Chain A
Amino acid sequence: MSEEKREESQEETKPQEEEKAEAEAHTEHGDEKPVEDKEAHASSSHAEGHGPAVGVYTAIFAALSVFTLLSFAFNGAMQSGMISAMTSFALIMGVAVIKACLVAIVFMHLMFDWKRVYFMIIPAIVLGLLILIVLLPDIVLGWKSVAAHELTPP
């Protein structure tokens, strides 16, 4: 049984060699080829050995805390008139994006897993931004749809 299988799997590699070049040229997903033993093992065990050290986690934690304070400070600066509302908006959202990236890359182990899950995350981000961008022009509808007499200010 096992001999038969081995023979089969040796044969197996032949058509794949042919396929490889073509697959690499066309594929979007990059997971065409059967994974070799080594790779599969390495991946299943990466969680055990290769995780970042506690020191890295602590540094990221400290950075996240500082960034939270920073966004708070930007808000304070805006309220006291030091920076414009637009600037503070950009700064605060920029800080939020950086924080999210730090959490995703280090805490969620994307530094290891990115090449295995990027094909899900990139479309999600693209579609998320797409729906936001397409909704934005409709903000104008809010202004148009209310005639002055319909709206009573307090």
Chain B
Amino acid sequence: MSVHETKVHEEHHELSFIQKYIFSQDHKIIGIQFLFSGLIFLVLGGVLALLVRLQLGWPHADQGWLGQILDWSPAAGQRMSPEQYNTFFTMHATVMIFFVIIPLLTGAFGNFTIPLMIGAPDMAFPKLNMMSYWFMWPGFIIMLLSFSLGVAPGGAAGAGWTSYPTLASIGMPVGGGAESPAAPNSGWGQILWLLSLIFVGVSSMMGSVNYITTIINMRAPGMTLFRMPLTVWGMFITAILQAFALPVLTVALVLQTLDKTISTTFFLPPGVLEFGNWTTNPGGGQPILWQHLFWFYSHPAVYIMILPAMGIVSDVISTFSRKPLFGYRPMVYAICGIAGLGFIVWGHHMFQSGMDPRLGTGFMIATIMIALPSAVKTFNWLGTTWRGNLHLTTAMLNALGFVALFVIGGLSGLFMAATPVDVFIHDTYFIVAHIHYVLFMSSLFGIFAGIYYWFPKMFGRLMNETAGKVHFFLTFIFGNMTFYPMHLVGAAGLRRRIFDPTMTGFESNVQFLNQFMSVSAFLLGAAQLIFAVNFFYSLFWGKEAGRNPWRSNTLEWTTPSPPPHGNFEVTPVVYHGPYEYSVPGMEDDHVMQTRKLEGVPVGAGH
């Protein structure tokens, strides 16, 4: 049977190299493409972050050879200019959010795991899937081009990743070209930024339609919604969030592009703004409208960047605790709850914007309610490890790191949610600490957990555990050393996004912490080299993995590693939920989802 099947495959799919690895329609290859491009941009985003830290740590120092390489003017002490600093922190955030975290979580893991975990031969629309990847590339290229002074004379976008009007939106009067009177790098750089994100948005939209269709309609026999692994649940809800929220961002991006190119004034206030000889275009829009439209997407985007990681972590923790996940259904409802609430809390980014204060109270209450499902998830992860047979593999360590640091990130989020507290700490480093605990320390640990966990399935080889553990501990330690002091300097009043952190006395007082954070950040960056070496070494010379190296239950582990085109030799039939570990009375401590159990009680509801 299986021999016959394989033969059919070979006959059907004699693909050239380009069809197989470049313009591939196979979800696994597309997932791996997303993985590699995401990791490459992770390097770029990391370098930008280190440049920002360099300036913050030693704002007055001569940068020497580095300054010479980067062509920083000797007259200014071979230091970056304030505009360049703005560009660096803007592009750091943009690259990390839109080109690293989202493509890695939804693009790489979504593509790779969804069909395998639900028992489908491929995505519902393989061609659309391929287009979704290749629509990223115009975005990548445009964003990279904007760094070139030849293309964008003022430099790449520098109005912050939130791109708030009026700074970002101001354009020249009719016929005045595309430069910006407000700042050199919000001219062409900003336009390219907007175009690039429109492409990325279209790509994500295609992906999300594909994911939802696949999960709803392509599940293997017996794979009911409540037998899906939580990774798939996370991806499912994430795709729904994207489908509903992204169009709104697209509208905002398009309208701002029009503001900057054809002199509309959707986001510019009615009163004339004057810059030297310039006045803004006539008309009368509303800057706060941009913030509403932007955060209507970008707050759900925060959950887009964490829900898949939560799903991955749930799977990893249950597998390596050799215990059923504590409270499977509450976990699912918690994901749904977070997503649902995620749509009605965007205003908490705007407490300081001057929007109608009556809205603020509503947004505050809704935001604080998100703590409930988040706490449910945290307790359930802890409950899963409770008295489990813990296997502290690298994937497990990263997952536990996620849980620990998500708690810190979540707790600091509560401060921001409360309007009166937010008024004090908004626009300080406290908020920077919060986002990095949630996005870097949580999402990225989720991504690392996923990479260590599925690497054997993706490439057929195991990653080196020792190097992996060293990488984890160094990342954990240096990460906390980099980001924890940000809470302190934020509470001390250090403003975010400023070029020179020693401008005022109260800010100079914490400069030693800034230097400490910068040194830690460089060490953190260096620690990632271990990961890079481990990744590429294991790719070629790692230990052969076999089908199921982690003795896990879910469907992807029934296939060969790496799985062939079409995934499953025989369409799997699913008999129970994904977390039947250590079932009493069984000789083995795991029960594959495809294995029928007779006379043995399985976990409630599965």
Contacts and interface: CB of A to CB of B under 8 A. Distances in A.
A96 interface: no
B225 A150 contact: no
Contacts, number: 83
Contact of A9 (B221, B248, B289): B221
Contacts of A27: 225
Given A28-B336, A142-B286, A123 B355 contact: no
Given A19-B224, A19-B605, A130 B596 contact: no
B329 A145 contact: no
Contacts of A124: 244
Interface in A1-38: 1, 5, 8-9, 11-12, 15-16, 19, 22-23, 26-29, 31-34
Contact of B286 (A19, A29, A123, A138): A138
A135 B343 contact: no
Given A124-B244, A138-B288, A138-B289, A130 B343 contact: yes
A141 B286 CA distance: 8
B222 interface: yes
Nearest to A135: B292
B469 to A, nearest CB: 40
Interface residues of A, number: 36
A151 interface: yes
B286 A32 contact: no
A29 B225 contact: yes
Contacts of B222: 12, 16, 34
A8 B573 contact: yes
A16 B336 CA distance: 23
B183 to A, nearest CB: 22
B1 interface: yes
Interface in B445-470: none
A134 B359 contact: yes
A147 B270 CA distance: 10
Contacts of B573: 5, 8-9, 12
A15 B576 contact: yes
A127 B244 contact: yes
Nearest to A16: B224
Contacts of A138: 286, 288-289, 292, 355-356
B296 A131 contact: yes
Contacts of B1: 1
Given A28-B336, A134-B347, A141-B288, A34 B224 contact: yes
Contacts of B355: 137-138, 141
A123 B241 CA distance: 11
A31 B216 contact: yes
B533 interface: no
A34 B218 CA distance: 11
B206 to A, nearest CB: 16
Contact of B343 (A5, A34, A127, A146): A127
A31 B288 CA distance: 40
Nearest to B212: A120
A59 interface: no
B289 A135 contact: yes
Interface string A119-153: 00001100100110011011011100111001100
Interface string B329-352: 100000010000001100100000
B137 interface: no
B558 to A, nearest CB: 15
A151 B605 contact: no
B224 A137 contact: no
B269 A32 contact: no
Nearest to A30: B225
Nearest to A136: B356
A5 B224 CA distance: 18
A37 to B, nearest CB: 12
Contacts of A5: 573
Nearest to A131: B296
A29 B244 CA distance: 17
A84 B289 CA distance: 30
B4 to A, nearest CB: 11
19 contacts: A8-B596, A11-B596, A12-B222, A16-B222, A23-B226, A32-B226, A34-B221, A34-B222, A127-B244, A130-B344, A131-B296, A134-B292, A134-B347, A135-B292, A137-B355, A138-B286, A141-B354, A145-B271, A145-B286
Closest 9 CB pairs of A and B: A137-B356, A150-B271, A146-B270, A8-B573, A32-B224, A12-B222, A32-B225, A127-B244, A145-B269
Interface of A: 1, 5, 8-9, 11-12, 15-16, 19, 22-23, 26-29, 31-34, 123-124, 127, 130-131, 134-135, 137-138, 140-142, 145-147, 150-151
Given A34-B222, A137-B358, A146-B284, 9 more contacts: A11-B575, A34-B221, A134-B347, A135-B289, A138-B289, A141-B286, A145-B286, A146-B269, A147-B271
